Structure 1
Amino acid sequence: MPLPADQKLIALSEDLLKQFDTRFGLHPGFRPAHAKGIMLSGSFTPSPDAVSMTRAPHITRASTPVTVRFSSSTGLPVIPDNDPNANPRGLAIRFHLAEHAHTDIISHSTDGFPTRTGQEFLEFLRAAASRDSSKPSALEKFFSSHPRALAFVRTPKPAPSSFARETYFGVTAMRFINRDGVSRYGRYRIMPDAGTEHLDADTAKSKDANFLYDELTARIARGPIGFQILVQVANPGDITDDATIHWPEDRPLISFGKLSLTNVVADNAHAQRNIIFDTIPRVDGIEPSGDPLLEVRAAVYLLSGRRRRQAPEQ
């Protein structure tokens, strides 16, 4: 995909990358955030209910090949799995529609996002990195004017017992259009067939530094790993362009389809370097909402992906 023409957007995206580099250090060949990860492959089978939401091609086919990436937070490629900073966990899904044609879902294990815009997120990162000892601190000042960022930070983020036993949430809303042209806004929610299970802090601390990745590899060797993809549908009047706002839990959940993961991707490190996920759907039947995070996140993903591909392979 080409870079957006908006020079302000490109400059903001480059500033965000620089801030991640400052915070976590330079790790050539790795992502600036969610650096530690593993990729699996499998298939997606759509739900009969999904045609009421969208006419997208992976809903009108019997099945579609997928590649997914589970990941840990931060830009540290070797962050221990039992480090609290490794939460929330990430799950990115690529639906392979044809050669050089795909659409993605980007999700993580905490519902929502700390800021509404990319500029606010940059200010948040800068405040978090500030070494100014004044009181109130830069971060306290930021939180005082961005209470939803403080709420996100304070939201419990326990470690899962397995990547396959975690629930993941799409960060931003999408606009779904069905074959009759009817559109509704919704957010993805991805739920594990094995059930959601979290560890208390003491149990997590006692685990090995690579326990989640080792467990996932052992689990998939025993058989397929399943997830249900759902879409939480907004009511008329719900805010659909602000990832910091949660919709009430009484909003309906429509079944989108089932993921069945069957294999660890061969040459995993190389595959992770080369795949560039996209926050924007770029497929007929699913469109971006007006959420301002979408374009800047897509630009950051693309810029960092190009940089990652250019780094010498170890």
Structure 2
Amino acid sequence: MPLPNDEKLIALSEEILSEFAKIFGPHPGFRPVHAKGMMLTGTFTPSAEAAGLTRAQHAVQASTPVTVRFSDSTGLPLVPDNDANADPRGMAIRFNLAEHVHTDIVAHSANGFPATDGREFLEFLREVTQEDKAKVQEFVGSHPKALAFVQAITPLPASFAQEKYFGLTAMKFTNKDGVSRYGRYTIAPEAPEEHLSAEEAAAKGENYLFEELTERVGKGTIRFKLTVQVAEDGDVVNDATVHWPEDRKVVELGTIELKELVADDAQEQKKIIFDPIPRLDGIEPSEDPLLELRAAVYLISGRRRRAAPAE
């Protein structure tokens, strides 16, 4: 995918990447955030309802190969899994539609985001990483979006496979009849959700989540349900910080089944660049300003990651 032809957007993306580097330090070859991760492969099988929402290829064909990356937060490649800063967790899904043809979903385990646009997000990064914790608390307390995000972060999960993930930005879904509706993704585990107390988390090892994930997939298939909450007329669809009422219709898109670890995982993680913009017929981006920004940040950092020398 090409970089957008927008100098202001590129400059803002560079500012955000510079801020991440100040916070976490430089780690060539790794992502600026969600640096620690693991990838699995499997399949996506659409539900009977899926085609009624979208004519996208993976919603209408029998099944689609997927690659999924689970991750801890922060830009630290060795962040302990039981560090509270490793929340929220990430889940990125690539639907492999054909050779060099794909579409992605990027989600995380907090059902919220601290900012509506890139400038607000940059301010959030600069304020919440201050050493003066009183100033941090003052900022969060006086900024409702930041406060809602912090409150949405769940406790440490027992497993990546027992956590729920949210695609925060709305997408425009169009079916074969040309009917379009906006919606947001939720990815829910088949296994019961489970989170740890502070005492339970402290007793875990630094890599407990990735070790558990390896053990779990070695014993059998890991499953998630992919759903879309559908907006109604009048709902805000261009602001990731605005939640829709819980009574909005939810459409089940299908089931993700993860069956094995990716071979040469470190190299494949370095190479893959997930794209928050769908870029396929049947699913379009909304006008949420975070989408183009995130796509630019991912692409710029991804190119740098690929170019970094092997360790």
Distance 1:56 1:77 in 2: 35
Give runs of aligned pairs for residues 216-231 of structure 1, distance below 5 A: 216-231=213-228
CA deviation profile, 1:113-142 (whole Å, cap 9, x unmatched): 1100011100111112345x6x97376246
Contact persistence 2:188–2:225 (CA under 8 A): yes
Which position in structure 2 is the counterpart of 1:173?
170
Which position in structure 1 is the counterpart of 2:189?
192
Unaligned stretches of 5+ residues in structure 2: none
User: Deviation of residue 273 (structure 1)?
Assistant: 0.1
1:195 partner letter: P
Contact persistence 1:276–1:302 (CA under 8 A): yes
CA deviation profile, 1:214-244 (whole Å, cap 9, x unmatched): 0000000001111110001111111111111
Which position in structure 2 is the counterpart of 1:289?
286
Which position in structure 1 is the counterpart of 2:70?
70
Give runs of aligned pairs for residues 44-63 of structure 1, distance below 5 A: 44-63=44-63
> Identity across aligned pairs (percent)?
62
Distance 2:282 2:294 in 1: 21
Contact persistence 1:124–1:139 (CA under 8 A): no
TM-score by length of 2: 0.97
Question: Residue 184 of structure 1: SS of its match in structure 2?
Answer: strand
Which position in structure 1 is the counterpart of 2:252?
255
- Larger mean CA deviation between 177-186 and 242-251 belongs to 242-251
User: Deviation of residue 252 (structure 1)?
Assistant: 1.4
Question: Residue 175 of structure 1: SS of its match in structure 2?
Answer: strand
Distance 2:163 2:136 in 1: 33
Contact persistence 2:109–2:153 (CA under 8 A): no
CA deviation profile, 1:90-113 (whole Å, cap 9, x unmatched): 000000011111000000001021
Distance 2:6 2:141 in 1: 29
Distance 1:89 1:136 in 2: 26
Which position in structure 2 is the counterpart of 1:236?
233
2:5 is equivalent to residue 5 of structure 1: yes
Cα separation, partners in 2 of 1:212 and 1:138, compared to 1, 3 Å:
closer
Give runs of aligned pairs for residues 1-314 of structure 1, distance below 5 A: 1-130=1-130, 137=135, 140-141=138-139, 143-144=141-142, 146-314=143-311
Contact persistence 2:87–2:153 (CA under 8 A): no
Contact persistence 2:40–2:262 (CA under 8 A): yes
Distance 1:216 1:138 in 2: 34
User: Deviation of residue 84 (structure 1)?
Assistant: 0.6
Task: Count residues with an aligned counterpart.
Answer: 311
Unaligned stretches of 5+ residues in structure 1: none
1:72 partner letter: D
Distance 1:139 1:7 in 2: 34
Cα separation, partners in 2 of 1:48 and 1:273, compared to 1, 3 Å:
same
Distance 2:85 2:126 in 1: 17
Question: Residue 303 of structure 1: SS of its match in structure 2?
Answer: helix
Distance 2:220 2:140 in 1: 47
Contact persistence 2:91–2:107 (CA under 8 A): yes
